[in-house]
């Protein structure tokens, strides 16, 4: 089978060559340690992240200490200092070179390299790479890697000044200049690369052949060449991905499975529902029913707003499957969510249907005896509805007749995990749920092999949620939060307080954002406690559950209230006990991490306070606030932050406060964060990270590539006449799908 490179493309024999054979053992080892590269294909797909011009200088004022940077600047001055001799009596010297962009300055420090003064004389322009440090209150690069922008003999001065200089993703041990030199050696050894994009498609869309595009991306002579190369490579990625997705979808359409039809079970369920299904729920249900009855495997994504009733839609599908004795398995990303799903489904079924279908929970944290009983019910087919976590994927878990796989919060699972569950049945139907609305370009890029149903409308009776951003430095407003919570509790309602960390220094369920410095949570010193005047925090500080729990219990505004913690680090029994007590009204306030982000349904909870709200993404905040206002009373969400009002993080928070439309917020999230975080692990397995294509920017390319891929597959379903494309697509398809395409 063909190997895959960093772009996800199949590697022709030339690109499979080990880097050690091309570059030698030393450089190849450095590339593997720094970037995980092992083949020639890995290196040539390591594309420049930007291009500099010799006539353009970098804004030095924007440099942040600790960052590895590459800057273009002009030498302003040079200073030599003789230092004390070393222990062996040898002379030591320090050469300081000050570079400037015309407004700000940066110091370069070289020890025992007096010759740098001749190389970096006043007025010369240089490209310098190193890690920004601070010495005597001045930003400094110590022993940076340097390349001069001297006019080479025989080169036109204007051409030399305008030629783009590639700036690569780099490390301290492999600065951009060294990466550039290694890439040049790789291009010399590259040869001609077979292009998976058919020539007719390239001609129609004015695309460069793959080999030429790769060469020009690394070594353009003009800025326009770099743009055209990147456009062609983005097209290459989009076309390969869309062909893969469409081929996978075509494969699913050929998988025979037993037709499943609704009957008395679903009729009894619908008759007992205490509310009317929304039009969107009915439309999604009709599409699912048609898929289940078709005789081929369903592969459908249901996306919907927070609280829009996706679980009800999935439960109705499970009942249609159960009518003929089939089993359904719902895979949830966390134990808390799995337990919530089981209780929600059992409650919706009612005593009679629940006794008949025996909904069963299976998680890795269940006591051994209880887990064994659950596995026996599942294997015997008694449990026709199974809800669980990764324990469902265990080799020891078997089903009598698995007919429907439901994946909740699909972005938490990789392709291999979803396939591991599907393999426990004979071509079971697949229903994927997400409460994170997906922009159209994301859907086409990550989920183009699924049919999509969308639930926008909320069930009748859902109360609106008001959202406000609170600056923690505004002491009066910040203190008012806790008095407002007191008012809610006095009316017999309940509240959530959410923190990004469990304890000082321990973030849970959230990664530090790229624009943040190292995270160091607040000390548990009582400052910032409700009723006290908090100091203005810096963006590097985050609130944590353990500290906040102490502060709230000591708050005069919440005196006598029952306040408990809920985190992913707690045992199953403790988490379950807290959620049960909260749902039963025995706890007034839960201080939690993002463990309550999805699936938690407590209709009496009306207020949520998110501390250090700038630590969360747009979609995450939208999910969190969906935990309140689920009953007859209106919801209130307070997003507390200390970030600058003009920062991107504040723009994010204001966007969340400004609308309840999750689809609008998904577009904001895509624009701010890019598709990397939005796609999550959906690209695991066959869908590797995108190298050039950007879904926030390249929607038109994705649409055009999908149209071209559809036409190619319609004309040549098995790609017999497109060998390079066939090889590349086969490298992405899972083994069963690949075999089906080969024999079709």
Using the predicted structure, report yes or no on whether residue 514 has a pLDDT greater than 50: no
Tokens coding 237: 């990625």
pLDDT digit string, tens, across residues 100-129: 988 889 999 998 888 888 889 888 888 888
Task: Work out the number of other CB atoms within 10 angstroms of the CB of residue 34.
Answer: 15
Q: What percent of the chain has pLDDT over 90?
A: 41
Using the predicted structure, report yes or no on whether residue 262 has a pLDDT greater than 90: yes
Each domain of the chain, given as residue ranges in start order, spans 54-162, 264-455, 465-659
When pLDDT is cut at 50, 70 and 90, the band that residue 523 belongs to is very low
- How far apart, in Å, do the first and last CA atoms of the chain sit? 18
- Please state which architecture CATH assigns to domain 54-162: Beta Barrel (2.40)
Tokens coding 57: 């200088």
Coil vs helix vs strand at 564: strand
Coil vs helix vs strand at 187: helix
Is-contact 239 445, C-beta < 8 A?
Answer: no
When pLDDT is cut at 50, 70 and 90, the band that residue 481 belongs to is very high
- CA angle at residue 409 from 395 to 638, to 5 degrees? 140
Instruction: Supply the pLDDT for residue 672.
Output: 64
Using the predicted structure, report yes or no on whether residue 248 has a pLDDT greater than 70: yes
When pLDDT is cut at 50, 70 and 90, the band that residue 443 belongs to is low
Tokens coding 377: 């019910």
Using the predicted structure, report yes or no on whether residue 200 has a pLDDT greater than 90: yes
pLDDT digit string, tens, across residues 370-417: 999 999 999 999 999 999 998 999 889 999 999 999 998 655 665 667
Region 59-69: mean pLDDT is 83
User: Is-same-fold flag (264-455; 465-659)?
Assistant: yes
pLDDT digit string, tens, across residues 461-472: 666 789 999 999
Residues 6+ apart with CB under 8 A from 604: 492, 493, 494, 585, 631, 633
Closest CA to 638 of 468, 465, 475: 468
Instruction: Supply the pLDDT for residue 378.
Output: 96
- DSSP strand pairing (385-388 vs 92-100): unpaired
Using the predicted structure, report yes or no on whether residue 518 has a pLDDT greater than 80: no
SS3 content of the chain, % helix, strand, coil (to 5): 40, 20, 40
Residues 6+ apart with CB under 8 A from 53: 72, 161, 162, 163, 164, 165, 223
Coil vs helix vs strand at 407: strand
Nearest-angstrom CA–CA distance, 703 and 445: 9
Nearest-angstrom CA–CA distance, 245 and 237: 12
Is-contact 512 505, C-beta < 8 A?
Answer: no
When pLDDT is cut at 50, 70 and 90, the band that residue 273 belongs to is confident
CATH of region 465-659: 3.40.50.300
Is-contact 214 15, C-beta < 8 A?
Answer: no
CATH of region 264-455: 3.40.50.300
Would you say how long the chain is, in residues? 744
For 595-652, give the DSSP string.
GGSSS---TTEEEEEETTGGGS-HHHHHHHHTTSS-SSSPEEEEEEE-S-TTSHHHHH
Nearest-angstrom CA–CA distance, 648 and 655: 11
Nearest-angstrom CA–CA distance, 353 and 138: 72
Using the predicted structure, report yes or no on whether residue 509 has a pLDDT greater than 50: no
Using the predicted structure, report yes or no on whether residue 25 has a pLDDT greater than 50: yes
What distances in angstroms separate CA 705 from CA 302, 331, 563, 588, one per listed residue?
24, 33, 54, 54
Identify the H or E element spanning 432. strand 429-434
Beta strands in 101-173 (DSSP E): 105-111, 125-135, 138-142, 145-148, 165-167
Is-contact 353 269, C-beta < 8 A?
Answer: yes
Instruction: Supply the pLDDT for residue 667.
Output: 73
pLDDT digit string, tens, across residues 615-643: 888 878 888 888 888 888 889 999 999 98
Tokens coding 483: 């008095």
Beta strands in 38-162 (DSSP E): 50-52, 68-83, 92-100, 105-111, 125-135, 138-142, 145-148
Give CA 602 to chain center in angstroms.
28
Matching residue, tokens 């087919």: 381
Nearest-angstrom CA–CA distance, 138 and 133: 8
Instruction: Supply the pLDDT for residue 286.
Output: 96
On average, the pLDDT of the chain sits at 82
- DSSP strand pairing (429-434 vs 402-408): parallel
Tokens coding 352: 């009679």
Using the predicted structure, report yes or no on whether residue 710 has a pLDDT greater than 50: yes
Instruction: Supply the pLDDT for residue 177.
Output: 84
Tokens coding 609: 């306070």
Name 299's bridge partners: 430
Region 533-541: mean pLDDT is 38
Nearest-angstrom CA–CA distance, 454 and 270: 21
Instruction: Supply the pLDDT for residue 102.
Output: 86
Nearest-angstrom CA–CA distance, 56 and 67: 21
Nearest-angstrom CA–CA distance, 446 and 469: 32
Is-contact 41 11, C-beta < 8 A?
Answer: yes
414 or 205, greater pLDDT:
205
Instruction: Supply the pLDDT for residue 515.
Output: 29
Task: Work out the number of other CB atoms within 10 angstroms of the CB of residue 311.
Answer: 22
When pLDDT is cut at 50, 70 and 90, the band that residue 77 belongs to is very high
Using the predicted structure, report yes or no on whether residue 689 has a pLDDT greater than 80: no
């Amino acid at each position: 089978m063909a190997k895959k490179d960093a772009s996800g493309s199949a590697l022709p024999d030339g690109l499979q060559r080990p880097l050690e054979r091309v570059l030698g053992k030393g450089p190849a080892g450095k590339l593997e340690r720094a970037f995980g590269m092992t083949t020639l294909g890995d290196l040539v797909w390591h594309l420049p992240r930007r291009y500099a011009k010799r006539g353009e200088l970098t804004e030095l004022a924007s440099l942040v200490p600790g960052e590895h940077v590459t800057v273009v600047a002009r030498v302003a001055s040079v200073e030599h200092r003789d230092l004390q001799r070393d222990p062996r009596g040898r002379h030591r010297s320090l050469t300081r070179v000050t570079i400037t962009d015309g407004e700000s300055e940066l110091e370069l420090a070289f020890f025992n390299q007096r010759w740098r003064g001749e190389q970096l004389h006043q007025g010369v322009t240089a490209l310098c790479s190193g890690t920004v440090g601070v010495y005597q209150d001045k930003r400094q690069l110590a022993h940076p890697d340097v390349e001069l922008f001297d006019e080479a003999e025989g080169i036109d001065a204007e051409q030399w000044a305008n030629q783009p200089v590639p700036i690569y993703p780099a490390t301290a041990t492999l600065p951009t200049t060294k990466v550039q030199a290694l890439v040049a050696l790789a291009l010399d050894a590259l040869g001609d690369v077979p292009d998976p994009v058919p020539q007719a498609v390239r001609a129609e869309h004015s695309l460069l052949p793959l080999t030429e595009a790769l060469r020009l991306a690394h070594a353009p002579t003009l800025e326009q060449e770099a743009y055209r190369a990147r456009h062609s490579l983005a097209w290459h990625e989009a076309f390969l991905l869309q062909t893969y997705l469409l081929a996978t979808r075509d494969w699913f359409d050929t998988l025979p499975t037993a037709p499943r039809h609704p009957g008395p079970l679903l009729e009894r369920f619908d008759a007992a529902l205490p509310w009317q299904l929304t039009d969107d729920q009915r439309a999604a249900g009709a599409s699912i029913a048609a898929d289940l009855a078709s005789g081929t495997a369903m592969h459908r994504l249901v996306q919907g707003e927070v609280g829009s009733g996706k679980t009800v839609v999935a439960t109705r599908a499970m009942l249609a499957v159960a009518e003929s004795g089939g089993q359904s398995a719902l895979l949830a990303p966390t134990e808390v969510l799995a337990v919530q799903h089981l209780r929600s489904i059992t409650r919706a079924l009612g005593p009679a249907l629940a006794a008949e279908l025996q909904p069963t929970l299976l998680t890795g944290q269940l006591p051994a005896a209880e887990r064994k009983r659950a596995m026996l019910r599942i294997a015997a087919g008694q449990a026709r509805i199974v809800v669980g976590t990764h324990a469902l994927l265990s080799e020891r878990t078997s089903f009598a007749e698995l007919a429907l796989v439901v994946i909740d919060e699909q972005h938490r699972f990789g392709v291999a995990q979803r396939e591991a569950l599907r393999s426990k049945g004979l071509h079971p139907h697949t229903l994927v749920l997400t409460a994170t609305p997906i922009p159209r370009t994301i859907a086409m890029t990550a989920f183009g092999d699924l049919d999509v149903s969308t639930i926008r409308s909320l069930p009748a009776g859902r109360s609106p949620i008001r959202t406000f951003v609170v600056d923690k430095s505004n002491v009066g407003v910040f203190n008012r939060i806790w008095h407002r919570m007191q008012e809610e509790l006095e009316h017999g309602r309940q509240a959530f307080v959410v923190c990004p960390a469990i304890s000082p220094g321990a973030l849970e369920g959230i990664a530090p954002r790229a624009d943040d410095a190292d995270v160091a949570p607040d000390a548990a010193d009582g400052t910032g406690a409700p009723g006290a005047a908090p100091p203005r925090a810096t963006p590097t500080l985050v609130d944590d559950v353990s500290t906040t729990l102490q502060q709230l219990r000591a708050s005069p505004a919440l005196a006598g209230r029952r306040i408990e913690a809920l985190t992913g680090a707690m045992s199953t029994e403790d988490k379950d006990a807290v959620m049960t007590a909260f749902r039963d009204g025995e706890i007034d306030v839960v201080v939690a991490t993002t463990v309550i982000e999805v699936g938690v349904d407590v209709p009496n909870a009306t207020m949520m306070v998110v501390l250090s709200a700038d630590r969360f993404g747009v979609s995450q905040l939208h999910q969190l606030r969906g935990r309140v206002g689920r009953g007859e009373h209106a919801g209130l969400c307070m997003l507390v932050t200390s970030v600058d009002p003009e920062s991107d993080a504040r723009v994010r928070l204001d966007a969340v406060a400004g609308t309840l439309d999750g689809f609008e917020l998904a577009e904001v999230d895509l624009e701010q964060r890019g598709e990397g975080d939005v796609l999550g692990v959906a690209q695991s397995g066959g869908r590797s990270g995108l190298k050039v294509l950007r879904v926030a920017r390249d929607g038109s390319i994705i649409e055009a590539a999908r149209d071209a891929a559809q036409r190619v597959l319609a004309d040549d379903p098995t790609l017999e006449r497109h060998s390079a494309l066939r090889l590349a697509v086969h490298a992405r398809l899972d083994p069963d799908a690949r075999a089906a395409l080969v024999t079709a």
